[in-house]
Amino acid sequence: MAVDVVPELKKAIETAVDRADIVILSGGLGPTADDLTKETAAEVLGRDMYLDERSMERIREYFARIHRTNITENNWKQAMIPEKALILDNHNGTAPGIIMEEEGKTVILLPGPPNELQLMFEESVVPYLQKDNCKILYSKMVKVCGIGESRAETMIKDLLEEQSNPTIAPYAKTGEVHLRITAKAKSEKDMEAKKAELQEESKKLDRRETNLENRSDNLDKREGALITKENKLEQRIAEVEKRNERVEELITYFHANVAEVEEKVGTLSMEDYENILILSDNLKVNGAGFYEYWVEQSGAINPAGDLSGEALNVNMEQIYEWNPSIIYIGNFTDIQPSDLMENKLEGQDWSVVDAVKNGQVYKIPIGGYRWDPPGVETPLMIKWLAKIQHPELFEDMDVGKCEIYDSRLEHISLELDKGNEQYWYIGDLDFDNDFTR
């Protein structure tokens, strides 16, 4: 790994270009003074830099999309492009990617944040690398159940020993063995012929799979035990049906509480929405998902909402770019607000982030259960978020006392433990049957 110091970085790039035809570098394309990868690579290849107007416009569009109007001057450093370079659009950030070709050598520069790097690689770099590669791959999967990987391999050992093109690769899965057959060809026409060979290989495997049918007799013997379990399940279903009335009460309660927040949030403009971030663990954020419902309902914007999934890996460069005004830390991690406020996490500087500067870092509460996942306490989560994000708008709303339903849909009351505002006091409950902390 080369550090962001020009002499060492330049030597590393020169060595890589000397040894390989294609060199891919990630990171160091950002707006700060220590982001030197692009400038150093351009120097190695003897390229001057120029300010690209289209890249500047895309940076403006990105900041407008995340509702940031104050663009600092150092951001335009990202629009400086080496001459004769191919520019790769960044759909998840501000720094464009770069491809430079020189005397049979190719240098590819990609941004550091994983969500930016991965998308750019798949959308732009892979097609670029494939344009001079005419080989086509085609695969088919045969799935076998009832035997282990070693037994399956023994049954097709002769096929494995004779394989060339197409090839067969066994994979062990839970309760199954997958046999992937892959053919390679130089053109679509050749591939059609290879598909015929692949179909024939698949038929050979299918015929061998019929040897496993005798094993189904053992499964029939287990059917009797399942009938007894089915009777017990029917009894449970009857119990659940009796709870329908309480389910309707829960739905009414949920909508009433959410509507209380929606009514006031509806008076806000998008400029009033807070820019928040939800940390699920160390340098892991939650993107689009059920968290987005909470964020929108409580009057906030999650800049990671453009990403899909939970516990997504990011780095500090991405955090600085998002610069949230409020940070919430989930309860499936040991990280506490003080870890950020006092810069206790090794190799991370949180002191420059607005949320830390303003003391707006919070641990998501624990009630009957953690408030991170959706559940009967979701309305309380939305109220809690709304009061933090818009304290003046919700100054009359008391989240210190509230009503919820437990796991048996029984109505209970909660009171905030003033000694530790991360937790809620729950009275008159059987923790062994109702809740776990």
Q: Is the pLDDT of residue 224 over 90?
A: no
402: helix, coil or strand? strand
**For residues 86 and 129, is the Cβ–Cβ distance under 8 A?**
no
**22: phi then psi, degrees, rounded to nearest 5:** -125, 125
Every domain of the chain and the residues it spans: 6-130, 136-211, 244-434
Q: Is the pLDDT confidence value at 219 over 80? A: no
Lowest-pLDDT range of 142-151, 227-236, 244-253, 308-317: 227-236
6-130 CATH = 3.40.980.10
pLDDT at 33 over 70: yes
Decide: 34 and 40 in contact? Cβ < 8 Å.
Answer: no
- For residue 149 the two structure tokens come to 């990987």
Q: Could you say which DSSP state residue 96 is in? A: P
What local confidence, expressed as pLDDT, does residue 237 receive?
61
In this structure, of 156-165, 189-198, 405-414, the range with the lowest mean pLDDT score is: 405-414
- Strands 49-51 and 80-82, sheet pairing: antiparallel
Run of H or E including 383: helix 378-389
Does residue 124 surpass a pLDDT of 50? yes
Alpha-helical regions (H) of 244-347: 244-265, 290-297, 316-322, 337-341
DSSP state of 249: H
Give the pLDDT score at 2.
47
Predicted TM-score (pTM) of the model is: 0.43
The string of pLDDT tens digits covering residues 6-17 is: 789 999 999 999
pLDDT bucket at 34, cuts 50 / 70 / 90:
confident
Q: Give residue 23's pLDDT.
A: 95
Give the other-Cβ count within 10 Å of 71's Cβ: 16
CATH number 3.40.50.1980 given to 244-434: yes
The pLDDT value given to residue 196: 65
How far apart are the C-alpha atoms of 385 and 221, rounded to whole Å?
Answer: 55
Q: What is the pLDDT of residues 321-355, one digit of tens each?
A: 999 999 999 888 889 999 999 999 999 999 999 99
Note the pLDDT of residue 44: 94
CATH class of the structural domain 136-211: alpha beta
CA 53, CA 362: separation in Å to the nearest integer? 40
Q: Is 99 helix (H, G, I), strand (E, B) or coil?
A: strand
Written in H, E and C, the secondary structure of 10-75 is: HHHHHHHHHHCCEEEEECCCCCCCCCCHHHHHHHHCCCCEEECHHHHHHHHHHHHHCCCCCCCHHH
- Close Cβ partners of 112 (under 8 Å, ≥ 6 residues apart): 26, 27, 28, 29, 30, 315, 317, 318
State residue 207's pLDDT score.
57
Query: What is the per-residue pLDDT across 363-413, written as a single tens digit (0 to 9) for each?
Result: 988 766 777 777 777 888 888 899 899 988 888 877 655 555 544 445 455
Mean pLDDT, the chain, as a whole number?
Answer: 78
Tell me the two tokens of residue 423. Answer: 């937790």
**Nearest Cα to Cα of residue 113 among 23, 6, 30:** 30
Q: Are strands 22-26 and 105-110 parallel, antiparallel or unpaired?
A: parallel
For residue 97, the cross-strand partners are 88
Is the per-residue pLDDT at 217 higher than 50?
Answer: no
Between residues 398 and 357, which one has the greater pLDDT?
Answer: 357
Quote the tokens at residue 364.
Answer: 């998501």
Residue 231 and residue 227: Cα distance in Å, rounded?
6
Report residue 228's pLDDT band, with 50, 70 and 90 as the boundaries: low
CA distance 92 to 110: 12
What are 63-72's contacts with CB under 8 Å, separation 24+?
A: 63/94, 66/275, 66/301, 66/303, 66/322, 67/270, 67/271, 67/273, 67/275, 67/301, 68/275, 72/31
Specify the pLDDT at position 417. 47
Task: Give 76's contacts (C-beta < 8 A, 6+ positions apart).
Answer: 51, 56, 59
For 289, what's the count of Cα atoms within 13 Å in the CB-facing half-sphere?
15
